[in-house]
Amino acid sequence: MSTILAVEQLSQTYRSGDRSLTVLDNVSFAIAPGESLAIIGPSGSGKTTLLGLCAGLDRAGEGKVILCDATLNELDEDARAAVRNQYVGFIFQNFQLIPTLTALENVMIPAELNGKKNAQQKAKELLAKVGLGDRMDHYPTQLSGGEQQRVALARAFCNEPKILFADEPTGNLDDSTGQMVENLLFELNKEMGTTLVIVTHDPELAAKTQRIIQLKGGHVVADTTTAQNT
């Protein structure tokens, strides 16, 4: 089976003065194209650090991350950014929309950065799919938290990424709004055949993926398939 993401003996240690903290210790796994995966574990278990290394936001101290056939630890920051721009979509807990741009302009950014000619049309279609067809000209401050996360969701898919990383995508939302965002996330993901990696504290969200990796103390302590994969 081919892999879109391979993590091999990954370790990350941060040093402060004469003290060191190992956040990840010898983590290995691989993800197939189109697979949905949740990374769970208590606070401080290394989930967000692992996500950042897998997405090329940071460089691993030891081990290897291969994303879309690119070995990230061999690349400088600019080259890793090029890999992200071409293949990766992101959804963050705090939305990370640009406040001076409208919803439509925020969604268009990834596709425009990649020089896609139909960026505006694609952004309009995605905003309509997430129920914001009538809010395209609104700025983030004019939108509720749930609406902002739906804009972020549309933005994440606008570039038609091969893999989407979501860090606590419903962490700042109430239950009903979070449920709506989750449903949209999985609908769009299925429609576009994107590989999905979610970091979450929410066991119900994790159970919607095909596979769950559990971290504890920087180690993988469980790697299980779910009912979604049977």
What's the pLDDT score for residue 230? 54
- pLDDT tens digit string along 181-222? 899 999 999 999 999 999 998 888 999 999 999 999 999 999
Average the pLDDT over 45-54 and give the result: 92
Share of the chain above pLDDT 70, in %: 99
Tell me the pLDDT of the chain averaged across its residues: 91
Q: Sorting pLDDT into bands at 50, 70 and 90, what band is 75?
A: very high
Torsion angles phi and psi, residue 102, rounded to 5: -70, 170
This prediction's pTM: 0.91
Alpha-helical (H) ranges within 6-144 are 47-54, 77-87, 103-113, 119-129
Tell me the pLDDT tens digit for each residue of 82-93.
Answer: 999 889 999 988
pLDDT tens string 12-29: 998 878 888 889 999 999
Residue 156 half-sphere exposure toward CB, CA atoms < 13 A: 30
Local confidence band at 114 (pLDDT 50, 70, 90 cut-offs): confident
pLDDT of residue 1: 46
Tokens 């081919």 — which residue? 2
Long-range contacts formed by 21-27: CB under 8 A, 24+ apart: 22/218, 23/49, 23/218, 24/49, 24/50, 24/53, 24/218, 25/217, 25/218, 25/219, 26/63, 26/219, 27/63, 27/215, 27/218, 27/219, 27/220
pLDDT of residue 229: 62
Q: Are 3 and 32 in contact (CB under 8 A)?
A: yes
> Is there a contact between 152 and 181 (Cβ–Cβ < 8 Å)?
no
- The letter for the amino acid at 50 is L
Superfamily of domain 5-229: P-loop containing nucleotide triphosphate hydrolases (3.40.50.300)
Q: Where are the domains of the chain?
A: 5-229
Instruction: Give the whole-angstrom CA distance, residue 175 versus residue 178.
Output: 5
Give 41 or 116, the one with higher predicted confidence: 41
Contact 144, 180 (CB under 8 A): no
Residue with tokens 């993926």: 209
* Digit-coded pLDDT (tens) for 154-192: 999 998 899 999 999 988 888 888 899 899 999 999 999
